[in-house]
Structure 1
Amino acid sequence: MPPHGEGPTGDQAVQQALETAWPADLSPVDEQQLRVLGISLLRADATGVGRARWPRLFDSAEQAIAPAFATARFRVQAVIARRDGPADQAVLHLVWAGLDRGGTYTDGRISDWYFTRTTREGGPTWIPRPRT
């Protein structure tokens, strides 16, 4: 693993470490869909940008809370999606960096988001599961 503070140059090493630790067990299409959704979801959670897209997860009270991280200093370092039990359940592991409200920039932050596959108009899709 790269040392903390390595910046974007160390991100590939972080990605490789995740992929080595958890071998792929989803189709490439499912993993790509989950990556896109999960990054968008993490960005909404951390920076507040895009929370309206996720009304089940971010209610109006959470919409009013100031985001904890600056949009301009937010970066996903690595992300993988893997099964989480049954074939219709998945977890997205994200490693990311961000500047918090206190002015501290930290990399190597970890978040997990859980998803369920469902069939909607247009075919199967993944939806985030509410936090418990």
Structure 2
Amino acid sequence: MKTSQILGLSAALASVGLMLLSVGPGTTPHARNTAATAPVPRKSAPGSAGTPSPASPTSTAGATATGTPAIAVTGTAVLPSNALAPDDGPAGDHLIQAMLDAHSPHNLPKTLEQRLDQLGRAVWLADLTGEGRAQWPRYFAAPGASGFSDIRIQAAAARGTGPGRVSVTLLWAGTSPAGDPEVGLPATVQLAQQDDGGWEPVR
């Protein structure tokens, strides 16, 4: 990951952190995002136009302090459009995770946070790929898949949003149905604690 991209992503995650901190216990979190809501457009290759996938529209939300065009990815959070590049690959994901961690409110016990991070990742992968949906029959009413391939979760961060309620923020990457590599795609998985103490995804 290039230095300029790291700096850009750091600024972007700062805005995500401000949004997360503004959501206190008892406040209803934003609805979960899907693959087609607001991906960060792929970085242009030399001599090519940097257009997002036709299946993944974006919405403009002003510009960053440096003048970089910005893309709204959740309710109020903004990511610079050049914060991430498809050619960074999995080797840069640990940096994305570290930055998301640095700008996320850690209001859960560490072991629980890690366990729910993994649960959120598993649920979102099942949502995207269709594999493993049978584990959560009340959450997935029907089989299906997003049409994306080469999917990987780049980062995840769980935070408590109320008694027995947790929201897992995710950033993920994949190749769109049109064949375009996309990175920094946002998603949210909501979890609720059950009577037996376990956790299940909820809508």
2:154 counterpart (60, 77, 83): 77
> How far, CA to CA, are the matches of 1:54 and 1:78 in structure 2?
22
Q: Post-superposition shift, 1:100?
A: 2.1
Paired position in structure 2 for 1:44: 126
SS in 2 for 1:119: coil
Which residues of 2 match residues 112-127 of structure 1 at below 5 A?
112-120=188-196, 124-127=197-200
**What is the alpha-carbon distance in structure 2 between the residues aligned to residue 31 and residue 41 of structure 1?**
15
* RMSD over aligned Cα atoms: 1.6
> Relative contact order (C-alpha < 8 Å, sep 6+): which is higher?
2
Q: Under a length normalisation based on structure 2, what TM-score does the superposition of the two structures give? A: 0.55
Q: Which residue of 2 aligns with 1:68?
A: 147
Q: State the AA in 2 paired with 1:3.
A: L
Tell me by how many angstroms 1:54 deviates: 1.7
TM superposition score normalised by structure 1: 0.83
Instruction: Give aligned-pair identity as a percent.
Output: 32
How many corresponding residue pairs?
121
1:97 aligns with 173
Match 1:12 to one of 70, 74, 94: 94
Amino acid at match of 2:85: H
**Equivalent residue letter for 1:54:** W
* 1:40-77 deviation per Cα after TM superposition (whole angstroms, max 9, x unaligned): 111111111111112112213xx1x444222xx11111
**2:84–2:183 contact (8 Å) kept in structure 1:** no
8 Å CA contact 2:84–2:184 kept in 1: the answer is no
Residue 108 (structure 2) aligns with: 26
Secondary structure of 1:32 counterpart: helix
| Distance across 2 between alignment mates of 1:110 and 1:26 | 22
**Whole-Å separation in 2 of the counterparts to 1:77 and 1:38:** 12
Counterpart CA distance in 2 for 1:69 and 1:19 is 26
Aligned partners of 1:53, 1:111: CA distance in 2, in Å? 20
Going from structure 1 to structure 2, the CA distance change for 1:66 and 1:42 (only over 3 Å counts) comes to: closer
- Name stretches of at least 5 consecutive residues in structure 2 with no aligned partner: 1-8, 10-82
Structure-2 separation of matches of 1:66 and 1:14: 25
Structure with a larger share of its residues in strand: 1
